[in-house]
Structure 1
Amino acid sequence: MKLTFKKYGQLQGRDLCEFVLENDHGMSVKLLNYGATLEDVAIPVDGAKRHVILSLKQAEDYSKERNFLGGTVGRIAGRVWHGQWKNGDHILQLPINDGENHIHGGFGTDQQVWSFRPEQGEDFVSVHFSLLDPDGHNGFPGNLQLEATYTLNNSGELLYDLTAYSDKLTIFNPTNHTYFCLDDLGTKIDQTKLFLDADYYLPVKEDGLPVGGMEAVEGTAFDFRMGKSMEDALKSGDAQIALRKGLDHPFILNGQKTAAKVVASDGKVSMKMGTNAPAPGNDLREITLEPGKNWQRQVSWKFEY
């Protein structure tokens, strides 16, 4: 296992660094402390490296404009109607940055420079990123201490752990915004096969906000429970897919160990995704962080090649 890093610039008075994690089987991962970002994942296929997430050409490009590629997006992912969150009799106003609504935390955690601590063991390498988002930033209450840890092991597994602590009640629903493409940077995305363990999804309006209730996937283009190509859904003629020009919808996961599986069109690379993070659905209690409460979520991406 190897872990190296280099400084490539400065921003917000902080050093910008790129980290390279490698396991003993030729898999490599690149990370940035800008936005606690997953920059690249490369898998050995037929004697060459196959890059399996969408990436920019170089680390310096990530801070030029907001792009979401691989970033740790917070404090909240998704949209908030009119940027308003009601807490008792108090209405919290968030920045309006997506039409008439709020999206992705405003000047979010994916746009900030995080502190870091590398760690290397016999069969794993990790980078721990940490960030203090101050009380009132983007209108969110509470000093929020956030840590994002990426760990690569020799089993072809990449782990992503998020922990958080706030000293005030706050709305909180972060995500990792990586776009996976197992056919090497988008060449055959429509032929990628997707399995998704979800019985329900949330229909949305034109602005991307949920209509208001869950719908069963059975009998719809959103049914990936038995696995099918992305093309089957994208060319289905479904009104919801036409409305958002693709799949841009929340799925309500069933909570199984494997939440999703993606298989490259040539069958040479597959990835299983697992998570302990619930899909919020209509329960707002799942997107709030209570003061003094330790919050933790984990995502695992296991690659077979």
Structure 2
Amino acid sequence: MGGETDPRSFGTLPDGREVTVHTLTAPGGLRLRVLDLGATVQALHLPDRAGGTTNVALGHPDAAACAALPEAFLGAVVGRYANRIAGARFDLDGRTVALAANEGGNTLHGGPDGFHRRTWQVVEAGPDRLVLELVSPDGDQGFPGEVVLRAGYAVADDVVTLDLEARTDAPTVVGPASHLYLNLAGEGTGTVDDHRLTVEADRYLPVGPDSLPLGGLADVTGTPFDLTAPARIGDRVRAEHPQTAAVRGIDHSYHLRGTGLRRAALLEHPASGRSVELFTDQPALQVYTGNSLDGAGSSGRRYRQGDGVALEPQRHPDSPNRPELSDPVLRPGETYRSRTEWRFRH
């Protein structure tokens, strides 16, 4: 089961756990490297015009760097609930659930020991497909119910697919997401300022300095958050606006048009000719322009602010307290499913 993905050691964590990296290869030459730690995309190599490949995903250089602080969640599947839950608590079926806080008094990406820090088990492996599973016990970081989550990666031609599937034995909230950072110029080459970004959304969630929603959805018209047509990222993150000032760029949830699997975003790098269309069935897309990036990169160069952009399909932040934004509740007998597709051109 394991040999077909060419599993290799990625080093050892401070707590002694070994980390393994698996490589998936598409017939056209696309290569995806995935860690069993956090079901993490460590690298994504696309064929280039020179006959070689270019890595367009930000990632850690080794296992030790994965555990270093501050956390950047590079390429990981984060959860049990992606993004922020205000006050590290929410009410469910008339009961208040208290969570582990890890960002001030709030819970970010599942808590201090979120899914990105867990070793996932390989349940299926092939040259172009890898399925990893994580069992999250009842009370994990405060979340009720045992949740079994599977992350299935597949590559075909110039497409990478991630399928997430979860079940629970008690009512809970579930909202995992991929935290993949992209730089289509190439990992470690500098900022994504010259990338152009389109997001298929007419509304977004304004936030406070703590990155929690201030209220309801707002129209993007007339703001730097209007990405309904291609916009240069550098121009938007430096625009004069209270919301870009609040988070030093863009770190906002967009309410996507439509339902079902549809295009959520287009990211383009005109100089290289590379682009990627992101498709998802999720209601929201968190756009994060790497405003706090600072750490060792897989190429040996240190990442700095703006060196990658994360486009995270998910439910809206704080939805466990704001069900009008999106419904995060999963109950026994139900199955949570989500699909993300990255369709590249190069």
Q: Is the 8 A contact 1:32 1:59 kept in 2?
A: no
Matched, 1:251 2:293: no
Compute the RMSD of aligned alpha carbons.
1.9
Partner of residue 94 from structure 1, selected from 75, 83, 99: 99
Deviation of 1:92 after TM superposition, in Å, equals 0.5
In structure 2, C-alpha distance between the alignment counterparts of 1:132 and 1:21, rounded to whole Å: 24
Partner of 1:292: 333
Seen in structure 2, the aligned counterparts of structure 1 residues 165 and 55 have a Cα distance that, compared at 3 Å, is same
Q: Does structure 2 conserve the Cα–Cα contact (< 8 Å) formed by 1:34 and 1:63?
A: no
What is residue 32 of structure 1 aligned with on the other side? 35
TM-score (norm 2): 0.82
Write the distance in 2 (CA, Å) between the matches of 1:61 and 1:115: 21
Shift of 1:63: 3.4
1:200 corresponds to which residue?
Answer: 203
Corresponding residue number in structure 2 for 1:52: 56
Match of 1:82 in 2: 87
Letter in 2 for 1:147: R
Shift of 1:269: 0.7
Partners of 2:145 and 2:170 within 8 A in 1: yes
Counterpart contact for 2:10–2:62, Cα < 8 Å: no
Runs of 5+ consecutive residues of structure 2 not aligned to the other structure: 285-314, 317-321
Q: Alpha-carbon deviation of 1:277?
A: 1.2
Confirm whether residue 177 of structure 1 aligns to residue 218 of structure 2: no
Equivalent position of 1:272 in the other structure:
277
Number of aligned residue pairs: 300
Contact 1:198 1:254 in 2 (8 A): yes
Amino acid at match of 1:178: L
In the TM superposition, residue 285 of structure 1 has moved relative to its aligned partner by 5.5
TM-score by length of 1: 0.92
Q: Measure the CA separation in 1 of the matches of 2:234 and 2:279.
A: 24
CA distance in 1: counterparts of 2:186 and 2:11, whole angstroms: 28
Instruction: Give the superposition deviation at 1:61.
Output: 2.6
Letter in 1 for 2:252: H
CA contact (8 A) 2:146 2:170 kept: yes
State yes or no: 1:41 paired with 2:41.
Answer: no
Aligned to 2:344: 303
- Comparing 60-69 and 294-303, the one that deviates more: 60-69
1:118-167: per-residue Cα shift (whole Å, max 9, x none)?
433xxx7110000100001111110100000110112x000000000001
3-state SS in 2 of match to 1:190: coil
1:113 is matched with 119
The change in CA–CA distance for 1:246 and 1:272 in structure 2 (over 3 A counts) is: same
Q: Following superposition of structure 1 onto structure 2, how do residues 159-178 of structure 1 map, counting pairs within 5 Å?
A: 159-178=161-180
Gaps of 5+ in 1: none
| CA shift for structure 1 position 242 | 0.9
Query: Are residues 1:223 and 2:236 paired?
Result: no
